[in-house]
Structure 1
Amino acid sequence: MKKSKQLKRAMRLLRLKVILFVIGGSLLMEISNAGAPPPSRPFNHKYRPLDLGPTPFVDEATGQCILSPCDALGRARDELYSILDEKEKVQSQSRTLIGELQQAVVHGKESQDALRKIIQLMEQRIRSLEQSVWTLDKTSSRWNKCSEGPCTCTAETRTVSCWRLDLTFVPRSQNIPHDTKALDMGANRLGTLNKDAFKGMILLNELDLFDNQIEYLPDTVFDSLENLINLKIHKNKLKVLDEKIFIANINLETLDISNNELKEVPVGVFRTLRRLTVLHLSSNKFARLDENLLRGLNQLEDVDLSRNELTELPPLLLDGLTKLKSIKINDNQIKVLPPTLFRGLADVEILQLQNNEIAELPEKIFHDLTSLTQLVLTGNSLVSISPGIFSSLEQLHELHIGGNLLEHLPAGVFTGLERLEKLFILSNNLREIDSEAFTGIPQLLWLALNNNLLTSLPHDVFEPVPKLQRMQLDSNHFMFLPEGTLEPLKNLQYVNLIKNPWHCDCSILYLTRWINEHSDLIWDYQPKCRGPGELGGKSVYTMTFNDVCDGQWMSMMSIKNRVRARVR
């Protein structure tokens, strides 16, 4: 019986190969005639059916046929319909390919890439048909038989793990229980899958195809998985997704297609996924997105579009997705944010836009994000931030605006951030901070101002943030700190002052005294003097009045009039 099934499957596959070979060969011969379009004639290549030999359904022990006439008729009918269905599908696909190929010929040399893609797609379809299929087991001993194969089977949790077995094909020797709930095929070398790879696995909830080399998936490969909840296809080599590939997965909640080579996805590919809550499309090659791509995904809570090639975002891309909690669009090339992009998204808690090219924030861009707790704008091209831009973000705990081009922090720039605890403004071009720049953020615990161009601070600049615990002032251009600058910070636990050109004259004594009184708070106990003279390289905390002032006063007192008085 088993050999018979394998034989029939092989013959059906061979016939399909012949059809595609004849189609492809004929078309390539026509295309080789450069320039002129092919003549119009019916596509009607004939082939001789192969002799399959005697009927294989014979009991070896008795020599008797084991099929009744009705069984034989039914099997013949099913086989015929199956072959006709596959032939019709291949011919339908081939007719589409014929039209595309003919169009490629008309356009000549400019369509060579398109022609190459069409031929590659034909090859991928053939390779997917060559892939083996699991043996689905419904017997009472199914889980014991499952353990006899190369995969690990756990009956208690109904899981099958084929993780990291270096598979290039689905193992023929592996039985899969029909009631499997979780199947892990991650970290293998699968290049494609048969369209029937998961046929009959209607109870499957989790499928992991992570970290393979999958370039192509048949459009019906997931059709049996109507109870699938989590699907992971990340870290593969997918270049295209069929519009109908997820049409049957109506219960899907998590879909990860990140780390592939997708340049676009069909607009309707997610239309049936009404229960989807997590969608990860990061690390692909998207240059643009249709504004209707996410339309109807009203349960979506987490969307990740990071590490693509996006230069713009459609204004209505997130329209209606009112349950969103996390939006990540990091590491793209976005220059402008549409003013209405986040309209109506009152439940969003995390918004990450780091490493783009955003130069300006529209006035009310964050107005509706009243639940936001983390906002990341690191690594953009912001030159300035208008006071009040964050005024509606009353729940914000973290604000990251480092790695921009900010030169000045005006008064009231952080107004409204009553719950802000972490503020990172490192690696900008800051030269000036207004004395009231930090008003309105009384709960601030961590302030990072390192790696800027600051030379001085207003003496009362830290009075609005008395709860501050961590502060980074390193890698600036400070020569001294005004008397009393650090006195309001009674809760400080950590401060970094290194890599500043501290000028050790009389003006450094305030910092020297403060360091000695709070030595346990200093990240690097050795902030160094830049000068003057022999004091360069010495520790700021060792300076004394005699070191920095005595010589200075003596020098001033010994100054003589070097300009000779004019004699009249």
Structure 2
Amino acid sequence: MDLRYLLSIALGICCWYGALSCPDLCNCYFGQESTEVICNNIQISVFPANGMPRNTTRLTIQYTNITTITGEDLLATPLLKELHLSNNMIRNLSTDMLIGVPHLHTIDLTGNQLMHLPSRVFHHAPLDSIALKNNLLSRAEADWLPSNSNLTWIDLSGNRFQKIPAGLLQNLGRLITLDLSENKLEDIPAGVLDLLTLLERLSLQNNKVRTIDPLAFKGTYALSYLFLQYNRLEKLSPTLFQHVKELRYLDLSGNHLRHLPDGALDPNVLFVDLGLNPWHCDAKMDYLWKWERKSIEVRQEETKAVCALPVVLKGRPLASLSPDELGVKEE
């Protein structure tokens, strides 16, 4: 084969990839439409810009000693679409961090040391997904994101929030998934979720929630999966879920519930987990007993509700009780 022909092919490849370079200690994978760079578990403390392919579309830097990311760092990757920065030592982000990555749709900052974020930090890219899981955040500001944010998925779990970040949520009208689990939330007030009309999945498990306002879910019409397990709920409003017509899965396990009010599950929830609550199996459980028996008949599903009191019924599944044992009349 003609040597000049081979050289022209080689030159074309180099031009296509912006030179087949790769940062030291990292792995690079080149494709016709994408280039992935992975810098995993290496001893670096600054962004590895040297040797970074300019056509990088997916960048993963994890388990390093990097403490900050700036806009200047990311100028090395103008075509970037996904940025994964989990489990580093990042304490600071710059306001202009994303100004040079106009195609970025996903950023993962899980497991870092972030306590505060600057204003407009997520303004310069059309982000669809943000993960801030397992950081040190106690507040989330509205100006982190533009008012017309495209965000559909955000993970704020494992932080220090004591209140649902209402200011941030007011800019997230397209949000589909919100994870606020493993924080220190104590209540769910009315109004904070009202603008999330497209929200389908809400995770609030492993908090300290004691109260939920009866109108807390008034605006979340599309909600399908709601996780409230392992909180401190002692009672629920009978109309709490009346506006949620699409609720398929509801997890209330591991709370302090003793009774469930009449009508609480009337929006036709498909599956409910009520396990690990101190249910008091008396006549006040008539509604739940009938609901569960019907659910078993129609869907072959149990709510896992088990009696804690009276002592004579302790350990018995609610659905297994006879009308006489529960003290109700069978219709």
Distance across 2 between alignment mates of 1:257 and 1:291: 19
Structure 1 434/268 Cα, relative in aligned 2: closer, same or farther at 3 Å? same
Structure 2 residue 83 is the aligned partner of structure 1 residue 294: no
Q: Does residue 264 of structure 1 match 2:42?
A: no
1:257 counterpart SS class = strand
- 1:202 aligned onto 2:10: yes
Cα distance in 2 for partners of 1:230, 1:437 equals 55
2:281 and 2:18 map into 1 onto residues whose CA distance is: 66
Secondary structure of the structure 1 residue equivalent to 2:324: helix
- The answer as to 2:307 corresponding to 1:535 is no
| Residue of structure 1 in register with 2:174 after alignment | 395
How big is the shift at 1:314?
2.2
Would you tell me which structure has more helix in proportion to its own residues? 1
Query: How far 1:548 moved relative to its partner?
Result: 3.7
Q: Pick from 122, 128, 136: which aligns with 1:349?
A: 128
| 1:71-470 alignment, distance < 5 Å | 202=10, 225-228=14-17, 238=25, 253-265=34-46, 269=50, 273-295=53-75, 297-345=77-125, 347-368=126-147, 370-470=149-249
The 3 A distance-change label for structure 1 pair 348 and 364 is: same
Q: Aligned in 2, Cα 1:292/1:368: closer, same or farther, shift over 3 Å?
A: farther
Decide whether aligned partners of structure 1 residues 526 and 438 sit closer, same or farther in structure 2, where only a CA change above 3 A counts: closer
Say if 1:231 and 1:328 are closer, same or farther in 2 by CA, change over 3 A. farther
CA drift of 1:328 comes to 1.0
CA gap 1:387/1:252 in 2 versus in 1, 3 angstroms:
closer
Counterparts of 1:482 and 1:200 in 2: how far apart (Å)? 77
* Deviations 1:195-215 (CA, angstroms, capped at 9, x unpaired): xxxx9993696xxxxxxxxxx
Aligned mates of 2:47, 2:327 — CA distance in 1:
74
**Cα distance, 1:454 vs structure 2:** 1.0
d(CA) in 2 for partners of 1:525 and 1:348? 38
**Change beyond 3 A, Cα 1:353–1:500:** same
Q: 1:264 to 1:526 in 2, by over 3 A?
A: closer
Q: What one-letter code is carried by the residue in structure 2 that aligns with 1:278?
A: R
Match in the other structure for 1:511: 288
Asked whether the equivalents of residues 230 and 253 of structure 1 are also in contact (C-alpha less than 8 Å), the reply is: no
SS for the counterpart of 1:513 is helix
Q: Could you tell me how far apart the structure 2 residues matched to 1:259 and 1:528 are? A: 47
Distance apart, 1:428 and its partner CA: 1.1
The amino acid of 1:396's aligned partner reads: L
1:342–1:369 Cα contact (<8 Å) kept: no
Alignment: residue pair count: 323
**Following TM superposition, by how much is the alpha carbon of 1:339 offset from its aligned partner in structure 2, in angstroms?**
2.1
Tell whether the 8 Å contact from 1:529 to 1:538 is kept in structure 2 after alignment: yes
Preserved CA contact (<8 Å) 1:274 1:297: yes
Amino acid aligned to 2:136: E
1 CA distance for matches of 2:48 and 2:225? 43
**Quick check: 2:49–2:76 contact (8 Å CA) kept in 1?**
no
The 1:526–1:378 alpha-carbon spacing in structure 2 relative to 1, beyond 3 Å, is closer
How far, CA to CA, are the matches of 2:11 and 2:190 in structure 1? Answer: 60
Q: Which runs of 5+ in 2 are unaligned?
A: none
What letter corresponds to residue 120 of structure 2 in structure 1? Answer: T
Task: Please say if residues 495 and 522 of structure 1, whose CA atoms lie closer than 8 Å, have aligned partners that are also in contact.
Answer: no
2:300 and 2:117 mapped to 1: Cα distance? 41
Measured in 2, the distance between the counterparts of 1:231 and 1:354 equals 34
1:369–1:522 Cα change, 3 Å:
farther
Distance 1:233 1:432, change over 3 A: farther
Q: Report the Cα offset of residue 539 of structure 1.
A: 1.6
Which residue type is aligned with residue 228 of structure 1?
Y
Aligned equivalents of 2:180 and 2:300: distance in 1? 25
Aligned-partner residue type, residue 10 of structure 2? I
1:40-59 to structure 2, matched below 5 A, reads none
Q: Contact (CA 8 Å) 1:231, 1:256: kept in 2 or not? A: no
Letter in 2 for 1:534: V
The AA in structure 2 aligned to 1:528 is V
Task: After TM superposition, give the deviation of residue 371 of structure 1 in Å.
Answer: 1.2
In structure 2, the partner of 1:493 is 270
Q: Does structure 2 conserve the Cα–Cα contact (< 8 Å) formed by 1:230 and 1:252?
A: no
SS of match in other structure, 1:330: coil
The one-character-per-residue Cα deviations of 1:361-391 (angstroms, maximum 9, x if unpaired) are: 1133233462111111121111112435312
Q: Closer, same or farther in 2 for the Cα pair 1:532/1:230, shift >3 Å?
A: farther
Q: Unaligned stretches of 5+ in structure 1?
A: 1-137, 141-177, 180-198, 206-224, 551-568
Which is higher, the Rg of structure 1 or of structure 2? 1
Residue pair 1:372, 1:393 contacting (<8 A) in 2 also: yes
Q: CA RMSD in A?
A: 3.2
The structure showing larger relative contact order (alpha-carbon pairs under 8 Å, at least 6 residues apart) is 2
Whole-angstrom CA distance in 1 between matches of 2:37 and 2:183: 31
State the 1:233 CA deviation: 6.9
Q: Deviations over 1:492-523 (max 9, x none)?
A: 32221111111112211211111011125575
- Tell me the SS of whatever aligns to 1:292: helix
Over residues 58-87 of structure 1, what are the superposed CA-to-partner deviations in whole Å (9 max), with x where a residue is unaligned? Answer: xxxxxxxxxxxxxxxxxxxxxxxxxxxxxx
- Alpha-carbon distance change, 264 to 200 in structure 1, aligned in 2, over 3 angstroms: farther
Fraction of identical pairs, as percent: 27
Q: Deviations over 1:437-464 (max 9, x none)?
A: 1121111111111121111111111012
Q: Aligned-pair distance for 1:335?
A: 1.4
- Residue 261 of structure 2 corresponds to 482
Cα distance, 1:290 vs. partner? Answer: 4.2
Residue 451 of structure 1 aligns to a residue whose secondary structure is coil
Q: Which has the higher strand share?
A: 2
Q: How many Å separate the matches in 2 of 1:296 and 1:232?
A: 12
Q: Taking structure 2 as the reference length, what is the TM-score of the superposition?
A: 0.85
